[in-house]
Amino acid sequence: MKFYPLLVFFLSLSFISRAQQEQNNETDYANLTFSPLTPETVKSFQSNTKTKQILVEPGYYVWGLSVVKWNGKYHAYYSRWDKKQEHKGWMTHCEIAHGISDNPAGPFTFVNVVLKAEKMGGWDINNSHNPYALVAEGKIVLYYIANDIKPLLDKKDSYPTNEWFEENRVLIRESQCIGVATANNPSGPFKRAEKVVVKPDNKKFRKIAVNPATIYHNGTYLMIMKGDDLIHKDPFRIQLVGNSENPEGPFDFYEKPVYKQAQTEDACLWFDQVIGKYFMVCHVMGKSELAMFSSKNGFDWQPAKRNIFMKKEFILSDGTLWKPKRVERPFVLTNDKGQPIVLYVAVYDQDVNGNIAIPINYTENN
């Protein structure tokens, strides 16, 4: 009989845990809030000054990142290109840089360039953009996009000039494919896969394969990527989800788009072990907010109960409102249980491109 109270205690804990999970399932982050930026943080961004929460680099455009935790440190992989190439240089002159920090909000100290814009050999000789990193099977797995331009070149042994890039932007856009590189530590060296991981199949999507968002869950790589649909004459961007047992693919993509009512891009993806669902946040073109979707199986998606993850504006700590010209490329960093802890977004304002880290808080349920 002396063990009976102890049994009741543990059963009560189990009941509370199940009740909390059921409550989470009902709310899907209804109690999630974002730490407000300070006016000083915004000033740092607008003056192109790197500090905590701000990842910018003088002389470079910086646009989009992903962050992984490795041996207690946080490693950011971010797109950057020389400002001399103007904003359009993202498509032909971008490289992927690596920074490190003790804090997920930064500041991130530059370490090295892990994938260059101009490469020797391989299908991906031009450009490295859209980094999406994860830790899987004891390695850093880094997905990215590059341009498969070899079939477009007259001289196969020479690298194109800036004039060639300018004259062939439409063809270059349609040469974008997804690749992957792996490393045994965050600084590399990264070994690029010999073959393209995802390219248009002209059966489910066409023209481009970009914006890879990938997680490793239950021994499977799950990816959401962007391509052009088969219906519209002009480019109409859709996102498809596929899976593979290997990081290099092949990925088997579901025919149904994640969301077909509007053009979407820039997905980030995670699996919340507490709630027991997959979540995705993305940029819906023409909308003033970042949208959130959920799925029980990773393939069938619908708007989450909290369908607006964050508006593309910031209420600062002094109560003022900051509305940058562009807020895109969301990336959600999670803890060990897959619960969001930091949101990163790419921001453009006052001729500055950079990434901003926004710590996530949770209010107590009443």
Q: How far is CA 200 from CA 18, 70, 227, in A?
A: 43, 33, 7
DSSP 206-274: EEEEEEEEEEEETTEEEEEEEEE-SS-SS--EEEEEEEESSTT---EE-SS-S--SS-EEEEEEEEETT
Mean pLDDT by 10 residues, the chain (366 residues): 43 42 62 97 97 96 98 98 96 98 98 96 96 98 97 84 95 97 98 97 96 97 97 92 98 94 95 98 93 97 96 97 96 98 97 97 79
Domains of the chain plus CATH, in order, are: 12-359 (2.115.10.20)
Provide the phi-psi class of 270: left if phi over 0, else alpha when psi is between -120 and 50, else beta. Answer: beta
Give me the pLDDT at residue 365, please: 61
Classify each residue of 144-160 as buried b or exposed e, where b means 16 or more C-beta atoms within 10 Å of its C-beta.
bbbbbbeeeeeeeeeeb
Q: Any bridge partners for residue 109, and if so which?
A: 100
Give me the pLDDT at residue 27, please: 74
